[in-house]
């Protein structure tokens, strides 16, 4: 594929009827990892939520693999999303969490399981499949969340400060693992963080959120708080 894996054109984002930023134009090449840095509350998470379709765009468009998906339902966009917290499905085992997306695609059970084992092994979680997710440590849970997002081979992976809930030692180790994982999978990714060091370590390109997003004037919204 020649064009960008993901592109946004003049995208306006916001939530609860409040515009947060506008005119966001961005392109992510195949297998490229782009980091977006900016202070918390600047709208980075809203941008990811808008690309994923969790929050509707207020204007402009989102294009994934050449297809305009601005009006497409979340589950048909082919986007993986990892939040700050792992949000593992508590009633499912590690294996069932990781194979969740493949089961939605009606992949054969053995194929799904093989893929899950491959990812779990890669992330240093050999033999964790049958475990209850409540037994996992914070770092392990976040690894499982990453494996779950990668399993259905999304066109783009969106990482929303996935390490910020972990302590710094663990954060560094996990960031390294994830960076290797993304290269191995050849997946395009946007990694949102407020940690510049983490951003430069993990990504091919670092963008400051303020550089390409025109933050809406908060005062115009009528609320100073």
Partner 1 sequence: MPRWLNWAWLVPAAFLLTFLAYPLGVLGSHVVDPAGWTRLFASNTWHVVPLALAQALTSTVLAVIVGLPIANVVTRYRFRGRALAQAAVTVPFVLPTVVVALAFRSLLGPGVPQGFFLVVLAHAYVNLAVVVRIVGSNWAQHDPDYENTARTLGATRWAAFRTITLPMLRPAIASSASVVFVFSFTSLGIVLLLGDASTRTLESQILRQTSVLLDFPGAAATAVVQLVLVTAVLVAGMVASRRTARRRLRPIALRPLPASTAGRVAVIATAAFTFVVVAAPVAALVVTSFRAAGQWSLAWWTGVSSVDAGTSRIGSPLSALATSIGYALVCALVACVVGGLAAVAVLTHGRTRLISLLAIVPLGISSATLGLGTLLAFGRPPVDLRGSGLLVPIAHSLVAVPLVVAVVAPALLSADSRTMAVAATLGARPTRAFLTAYGAILRVVMLASAGLACAVSLGEFGAASFLARAGSPTVPVQIVRLLSRPGEQSYGIAAVLAVVLVALTLVLVLLVDRLGAGRPSSVTGAA
**Binding-site ranges for partner 1 (CB under 8 A):** 16-17, 49, 52-54, 56, 73-77, 79-81, 83, 85, 87, 89-91, 100-101, 104-105, 134, 148-149, 152, 154
Q: How far apart are CA 159 and CA 68, in angstroms?
A: 21
Q: How far apart are CA 37 and CA 44, in angstroms?
A: 8
State the virtual CA torsion across 14, 145, 192, 33 in degrees, nearest 10.
-120
Min dist CB 195 to partner 1, Å, is: 21
Min dist CB 92 to partner 1, Å, is: 8
Min dist CB 17 to partner 1, Å, is: 7
Question: Between residues 72 and 172, which has the closer beta carbon with respect to partner 1?
Answer: 72
Question: Between residues 65 and 173, which has the closer beta carbon with respect to partner 1?
Answer: 65
Q: How many CB atoms lie under 10 A from the CB of residue 119?
A: 23
Min dist CB 189 to partner 1, Å, is: 13
Q: How many CB atoms lie under 10 A from the CB of residue 43?
A: 25
Question: Between residues 4 and 80, which has the closer beta carbon with respect to partner 1?
Answer: 80
Q: How far apart are CA 23 and CA 11, in angstroms?
A: 5
Q: How many CB atoms lie under 10 A from the CB of residue 54?
A: 15
Question: Between residues 89 and 197, which has the closer beta carbon with respect to partner 1?
Answer: 89
């Amino acid at each position: 594929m020649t064009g960008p894996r993901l592109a946004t054109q003049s995208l306006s984002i916001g939530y609860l009827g409040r515009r947060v930023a506008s005119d966001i134009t961005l392109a992510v090449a195949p297998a490229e990892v782009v980091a977006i840095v900016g202070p918390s509350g600047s709208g980075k998470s809203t941008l990811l939520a808008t690309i994923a379709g969790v929050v509707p765009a207020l204007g402009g468009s989102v294009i994934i693999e050449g297809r305009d998906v601005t009006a497409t339902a979340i589950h048909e966009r082919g986007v993986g999303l990892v939040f700050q917290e792992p949000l593992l499905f508590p009633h499912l085992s590690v294996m069932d969490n990781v194979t969740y997306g493949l089961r939605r695609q009606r992949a054969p059970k053995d194929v799904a399981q093989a893929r899950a084992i491959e990812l779990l092994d890669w992330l240093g979680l050999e033999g964790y499949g049958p475990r209850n997710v409540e037994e996992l440590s914070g770092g392990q849970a976040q690894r499982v969340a990453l494996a779950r997002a990668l399993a259905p081979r999304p066109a783009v992976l969106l990482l929303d400060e996935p390490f910020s809930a972990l302590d710094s030692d663990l954060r560094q180790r996990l960031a390294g693992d994830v960076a290797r994982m993304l290269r191995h999978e050849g997946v395009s990714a946007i990694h949102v963080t407020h940690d510049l060091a983490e951003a430069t370590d993990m990504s091919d390109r670092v963008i400051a959120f303020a550089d390409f997003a025109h933050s809406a004037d908060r005062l115009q919204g009528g609320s100073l708080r």
